Amino acid sequence: MRQVFLDTETTGLKVAEGDRLIEIGCIELVDRRPTGRRLHHYVNPQRSSHPDAVRVHGISDDFLADKPLFEAVARELLDFVREADVVIHNAAFDLGFIDAELERLGLPRLAEHAGAITDSLALARELFPGKQNSLDALCKRLEVDNSQRELHGALLDAGLLAEVYLRMTRGQKSLVIEAEEVAGSIGAESVVDLSAFELVVLCASEEEAAAHEAVLADIDQASKGRTVWRPAPAAPVLA
């Protein structure tokens, strides 16, 4: 299974009011293992970022001034996510900005290029109802090291999301263990052929059997004959 963990940074929170994408980061996993493939771009939004947004991601307008427009990286993004399960934390937010950029170019929504879209926030809310389920909160709860996350960054957050997702879907509370991992962790030398052993049966002595019967009789008397382990007396046979 191929998965792409995706995150974005933006000029603000309101795509409907013209806020734009400024950074996108993607990390690829195949069969739940990192492949080393990643996609990362800063994008010139052709507008200023809101001061509150800059305090979150630390990306200045001057830094973005010479970066490519989204049009220059759109095809690379779509090729990277094609037919993959794209995992996004609070997917509606990121997709709103990406789809708005794609619409400006006359291109279909991201979901029409991906194989599937998975919202990890919805999954977290199912696993931890009533709790904080931001990426930082999940990192703390699931013991994912986010000490380098002084500011938000799309590629860094995509990597943290991958770690969080793997722990949410196969952590200590999960009863599912992949067969490949079991095979890899148990070597041939660890397998014991039990057919060579003869099972030893130890029978109770007469004294032990008598003591056991006395305990059962006491319980039977205390329960006024309502115990279920003694066979019912046979019904008389009528001639």
Which residues are known catalytic residues?
152
Q: Which two tokens stand for residue 89?
A: 């934390």
What are the residues whose beta carbons fall under 8 Å from the beta carbon of 193, sequence distance 6 or more?
Answer: none
Question: What does the alpha-carbon distance between residue 169 and residue 157 come to, in Å, rounded to a whole number?
Answer: 18
Question: What does the alpha-carbon distance between residue 61 and residue 29 come to, in Å, rounded to a whole number?
Answer: 32
- Cα–Cα separations (whole angstroms), residue 120 to 35, 129, 132, 167, 232: 20, 13, 13, 12, 59
Place of tokens 């990406």: 98
At CA 142, angle to CA 172 and CA 56, rounded to 5?
Answer: 160
Identity of the amino acid at 231: P
